């Protein structure tokens, strides 16, 4: 059954009349336009948490949101990628500080100058 109306367009894949609001063709199922991503506060908190606490995994939603047409989605993607980079830098800094302290402790043990608490 075709959706025939004043605002209907034709699917470029199968030629069936569709309405402009459709994201997928009801006949052939092909994607007609990309669905906009959610910009709700809980979605943002989840993306930002993922970006900060599991840094490499924050890049995927960040890139997805950067590719969206509206400015709010682009800002969400930019913040997500920024949090990912900050988290990775912070992880490297903490790891370097820990390894430096551990190395000093091992050197003082081998020199006999280690003092326990």
SS3 of residue 9 by DSSP: strand
Alpha helix segments (H runs only) across 2-70? 41-53, 59-66
Q: Each residue of 35-54: b (16+ CB within 10 Å) or e? A: eebeeeeeebeebbebbeee
Do 23 and 43 sit in the same domain of this protein? no
SS3 content of the chain, % helix, strand, coil (to 5): 55, 5, 40
Instruction: Say what the pTM is.
Output: 0.63
Do 51 and 100 sit in the same domain of this protein? yes
Do 30 and 46 sit in the same domain of this protein? no
Do 18 and 43 sit in the same domain of this protein? no
Do 113 and 57 sit in the same domain of this protein? yes
DSSP bridge pairs for 31: 24
Do 42 and 22 sit in the same domain of this protein? no
> What are 51-102's pLDDT values in tens digits?
999 989 999 999 999 998 889 999 999 999 999 999 999 999 999 999 999 9
Do 100 and 67 sit in the same domain of this protein? yes
Q: Which domain holds residue 25?
A: 1-35
Count up the domains in the chain and report the number. 2
């Amino acid at each position: 059954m075709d959706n025939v109306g004043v605002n209907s367009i034709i699917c470029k894949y199968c030629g069936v009349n569709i309405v402009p609001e459709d994201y997928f063709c009801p006949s052939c199922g092909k994607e007609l336009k990309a669905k906009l991503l959610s910009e709700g506060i809980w979605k943002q908190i989840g993306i930002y948490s993922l970006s900060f606490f599991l840094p490499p995994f924050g890049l995927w939603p960040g890139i997805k949101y950067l590719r969206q047409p509206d400015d709010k989605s682009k800002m969400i993607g930019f913040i997500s990628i920024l949090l990912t980079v900050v988290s990775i830098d912070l992880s490297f800094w903490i790891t370097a500080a820990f390894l430096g302290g551990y190395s000093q402790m091992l050197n003082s043990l081998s020199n006999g100058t280690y003092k326990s608490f």
